Amino acid sequence: MPLEVAIEKQVSGFRLAVEFTADGAPLGLLGPSGSGKTMTLRAIAGLEKPDRGRIVLHGRVLFDSAHGIDVPARERRIGLLFQNYALFPHLTVAENIAFGLQRVPRPERTRRVAEQLAATHLNNLASRYPASLSGGEQQRVALARALAVEPAALLLDEPFSALDTHLRGALERQLRETLEMYRGSTLFVSHNLEEAYRVCEELVVLAHGGVAARGPKEEIFRQPPTLEVARLTGCKNFSRAHRVGDELIEALDWGCKLRVTQAFAKLPEHVAIRAHHLRVRAPGTPPEGRTNTFPCWLTAMTETPFRVTLDLRIGGPPANPADFHIQAEVFKQEWEEFRNLPPPWQVELAPDRLFLLPD
């Protein structure tokens, strides 16, 4: 049975009003800082009291403002993993893991601690104190502690935010393995798009204290419902648009007309495309002359170890470093094929990669 949440709470600067269901696979809560992600977790865990609403976990009512129900946090059977791990510095690793098990008989408590030490590869650290542990080790202790109580729900609040890139990748893999075996409901809070996409099957996108989008991750990334959700899910390229004809729009800010495959019930106000869906090629190479392929000029370039981001102007050379229409992300191998060739290059905005937005 799922975790059902429908709550409202006045917080600093906005009113939180969220409604969603987490059923089975991990559900990601995605959104910018201040959108209400952490407050939502704290309300579910019983650390904050909503003004009104209802929280039901596996058929058990944890909070119901209409009926005066507010189950104390310690009785909710919820594991909460904070950003800073919140380990007790005066307790050993084993004692930290056992902290929530005081009411459990000693033999069972010993079994659970041993089980979590093994599952999180902490056996050789059981007698150590948090101050002597690395960030990754502390994160594993916090996860083991959250799972030791055998929670009906596991709430993960930016669990990798304090880790460096190497540790983040390794512990993310371990978390995914752990969640495959976990049978409760999981909420995973993150502002990292790629991280949430890898860990979760479904997403809830929060903005201004409310739910801006909810559904399978592929659907939200492929077809965001609004301009705001497109931005929150990492899209960089937008233009005002109006319809010119059947399957044809004009991108007003890009200065071009585009074929689209997406049907639209009402007139779109914007067209958008993700930077990694653009194709940039040398002039004279196929598919020059194909649908939605235009000459382009480079305005600026930035690089990472494996990719480059190109600021491109369509239709003519830029007048200044800020004069560009779209951003394309390409692998360095592709970049090497045309970087030294004279402009204009070609940029292709594939019709099936464009999405239309009502606002």
For the stretch 249-287, pLDDT in tens is 999 999 999 999 987 666 789 999 999 999 998 887 665
Please tell me whether residues 170 and 248 are part of one structural domain. no
Of residues 132 and 358, which shows the higher confidence score? 132
Tell me how far CA of residue 19 lies from CA of 50, 139, 206, 214, 290, in angstroms. Answer: 13, 29, 10, 10, 45
Quick one: DSSP state of residue 102? T
Residue 312 has pLDDT above 60, yes or no: yes
Range of the domain at 92: 3-227
Residue 22 has pLDDT above 70, yes or no: yes
pLDDT grade, residue 320 (50/70/90)?
very high
Q: Which of 188, 207, 227 is the last residue of a domain?
A: 227
pLDDT value at position 136? 82
Please tell me whether residues 337 and 276 are part of one structural domain. yes
Mean pLDDT of 204-212: 92
Tell me how far CA of residue 345 lies from CA of 72, 278, 318, 340, in angstroms. Answer: 63, 13, 13, 11
Taking the C-alpha atoms of residue 25 and residue 77, their distance in angstroms, rounded to an integer, is 18
Domain count, the chain: 2
Please tell me whether residues 268 and 146 are part of one structural domain. no
Q: Average per-residue pLDDT in the chain? A: 89
Taking the C-alpha atoms of residue 151 and residue 77, their distance in angstroms, rounded to an integer, is 5
pLDDT grade, residue 164 (50/70/90)?
low
Please tell me whether residues 64 and 196 are part of one structural domain. yes
**Spacing of C-alpha 288 from chain mean position:** 36
pLDDT value at position 247? 86
**pLDDT tens digits, 48-68:** 999 999 999 999 999 999 999
Q: What backbone phi and psi angles, to 5 degrees, belong to 314? A: -90, 135
pLDDT value at position 270? 94
pLDDT value at position 165? 67
Please tell me whether residues 66 and 186 are part of one structural domain. yes
Please tell me whether residues 222 and 321 are part of one structural domain. no
**pLDDT tens digits, 226-256:** 999 999 899 999 999 998 888 899 999 999 9
pLDDT grade, residue 33 (50/70/90)?
confident
**Spacing of C-alpha 249 from chain mean position:** 31
Q: Is residue 284 a contact partner of residue 297, using CB atoms and an 8 Å limit?
A: no
Q: Is residue 62 a contact partner of residue 76, using CB atoms and an 8 Å limit?
A: yes
What's the pTM? 0.83
pLDDT grade, residue 194 (50/70/90)?
confident
Residue 12 has pLDDT above 60, yes or no: yes
| CA neighbor of 242 nearest in space, from 264, 223, 227 | 264
Percentage of residues of the chain with pLDDT beyond 70: 96
- Tokens (6 digits) for 160: 């990798």
Q: Which of 227, 255, 276 is the last residue of a domain?
A: 227
**pLDDT tens digits, 99-113:** 989 889 999 999 999
pLDDT value at position 187? 94
Mean pLDDT of 137-147: 88
Please tell me whether residues 250 and 129 are part of one structural domain. no
Please tell me whether residues 34 and 101 are part of one structural domain. yes
Omega of the bond prior to 287 within 30 degrees of 0, cis?
A: yes
Percentage of residues of the chain with pLDDT beyond 90: 59
pLDDT value at position 84? 75
Strands (E), 163-201: 185-190
Give start and end residues of each alpha helix (H) in 62-134. Answer: 93-97, 106-119
- The residues, ordered by sequence, that sit 6+ positions from 355 with a Cβ below 8 Å of its Cβ are 222, 223, 224, 230, 262, 271, 272, 273
Strands (E), 23-157: 27-30, 52-57, 60-64, 69-70, 78-81, 153-157
